[in-house]
């Protein structure tokens, strides 16, 4: 199930600069990727850079991301890397925004929970402010954690979740829920073109060995010949998604008319285009 963009918009987005339509103006698509030095972000950047019409700007504070993930693009004329924390304003001109910036592994987002919630709330407000100012379409990477400890299995996008507002994961769960609310309110109130991708547990190359998530932990433990640690109660289930499938779906989501989509392990591509 997915939410379609035909509902709810009360106002057209502001027009970009008239220079954008000038025949002398460069026609490249200028794309901002926040968190572009991270695990999923850097794979997304690789894909965007494959298109010669794209100019890619990455904003990252390198808390969990690394310049190493982007080293093949550093110095490329269509690529720019900015050390920037999204909790601060960013005044640039772009056509599209992929807003990924936020630590996603529980051990990292719980390390500084106040910073995590600021990143989700103030960071998303700043990116929406930017989208409004320049008329850019914006995609937020949300999370399966918006369902909290779900009482429905599997969860459709229409399920509202079962979330603890004061738990140790709340900085992330509730932070992303507020971020989603902000996205929809900017859409309804200001006509901003939004997309939300609810990302489930993703794995693949460039995952940090110390990431702490179950797939990387199990692989690292297996390589070291250590026992695999299954945390209590041991009956948890997850839907896993390989990073290239994830990136493909994020890219298609921004271009499609569907506002809200879950990115699970098994991707129904026909459904994305619905």
Ligand X SMILES: O=c1ccn([C@@H]2O[C@H](COP(=O)(O)OP(=O)(O)O[C@H]3OC[C@@H](O)[C@H](O)[C@H]3O)[C@@H](O)[C@H]2O)c(=O)[nH]1
CB 215, min distance to ligand X, A: 7
Q: Which of 172, 186, 203, 248 is catalytic?
A: 172
The backbone torsions φ and ψ at residue 195, rounded to the nearest 5 degrees and listed phi first, read: -140, 140
Q: Does 217 bind ligand X (CB under 6 A)?
A: yes
Neighbouring-strand partners of residue 81: 58
Stretch that binds ligand X, among 42-50, 80-88, 91-99, 229-237 (CB under 6 A): 229-237
Q: Does 201 bind ligand X (CB under 6 A)?
A: yes
Q: Is the previous residue joined to 233 through a cis bond, with omega within 30 degrees of 0?
A: yes
Q: Does 143 bind ligand X (CB under 6 A)?
A: yes
Interface residue with ligand X, options 71, 133, 238, 271 (CB under 6 A)? 238
Alpha-helix residue ranges (DSSP H) falling in the chain: 39-50, 106-109, 113-134, 170-190, 214-223, 243-255, 269-272
Rg from Cα positions in the chain: 18
Q: Does 219 bind ligand X (CB under 6 A)?
A: no
| Cα gap 166→155, rounded to integer Å | 22
Distances in Å between the Cα of 257 and the Cα atoms of 1, 104, 139, 252 are: 13, 26, 12, 10
CB 1, min distance to ligand X, A: 19
Q: Does 159 bind ligand X (CB under 6 A)?
A: no
Q: Does 105 bind ligand X (CB under 6 A)?
A: yes
Is 172 annotated as catalytic?
Answer: yes
Q: Does 106 bind ligand X (CB under 6 A)?
A: yes
Distances in Å between the Cα of 65 and the Cα atoms of 68, 76, 193, 196 are: 9, 19, 27, 21
Q: Does 1 bind ligand X (CB under 6 A)?
A: no
Stretch that binds ligand X, among 13-21, 33-41, 59-67, 225-233 (CB under 6 A): 225-233
Q: Does 259 bind ligand X (CB under 6 A)?
A: no
DSSP string for residues in 115-127? HHHHHHHHHHHHH
CB 3, min distance to ligand X, A: 19
| Cα gap 82→84, rounded to integer Å | 6
Interface residue with ligand X, options 6, 165, 236, 270 (CB under 6 A)? 236
CB 205, min distance to ligand X, A: 17
Q: Which 33-62 residues touch ligand X, going by CB under 6 A? A: none
Neighbouring-strand partners of residue 248: none
Residues at the contact surface with ligand X, assessed by CB under 6 A: 104-106, 143-145, 199-201, 212-214, 217, 229-231, 236, 238
Q: Active-site residues: which are they?
A: 172
């Amino acid at each position: 199930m997915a939410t379609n963009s035909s509902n709810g918009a009360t106002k057209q987005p502001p027009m970009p600069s008239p220079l954008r339509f000038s025949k002398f103006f460069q026609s490249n698509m200028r794309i901002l990727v926040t968190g572009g030095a991270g695990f999923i972000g850097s794979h997304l950047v690789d894909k965007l850079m494959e298109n010669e019409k794209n100019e890619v700007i990455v904003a990252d504070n390198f808390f969990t991301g690394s310049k190493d993930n982007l080293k093949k693009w550093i110095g490329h004329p269509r690529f720019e890397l900015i050390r920037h924390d999204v909790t601060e304003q960013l005044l640039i001109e772009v056509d599209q925004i992929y807003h990924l910036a936020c630590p996603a592994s529980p051990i990292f987002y719980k390390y500084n929970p106040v910073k995590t919630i600021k990143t989700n709330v103030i960071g998303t407000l700043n990116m929406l402010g930017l989208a409004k100012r320049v008329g850019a379409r914006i995609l937020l990477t949300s999370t399966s954690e918006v369902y909290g400890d779900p009482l429905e299995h599997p969860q459709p996008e229409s399920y509202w979740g079962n979330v603890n507002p004061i738990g140790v994961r709340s900085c992330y769960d509730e932070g992303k829920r507020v971020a989603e609310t902000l996205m929809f309110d900017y859409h309804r109130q200001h006509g901003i073109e939004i997309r939300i991708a609810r990302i489930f547990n993703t794995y693949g190359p460039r995952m940090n060995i110390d990431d702490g998530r179950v797939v990387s932990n199990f692989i690292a433990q297996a390589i070291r010949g250590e026992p695999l640690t299954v945390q209590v109660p041991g009956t948890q289930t997850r839907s896993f998604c390989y990073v290239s499938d994830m990136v493909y779906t994020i890219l298609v989501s921004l271009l499609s008319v569907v506002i809200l989509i879950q990115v699970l392990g098994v991707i129904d591509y026909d459904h994305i285009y619905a």
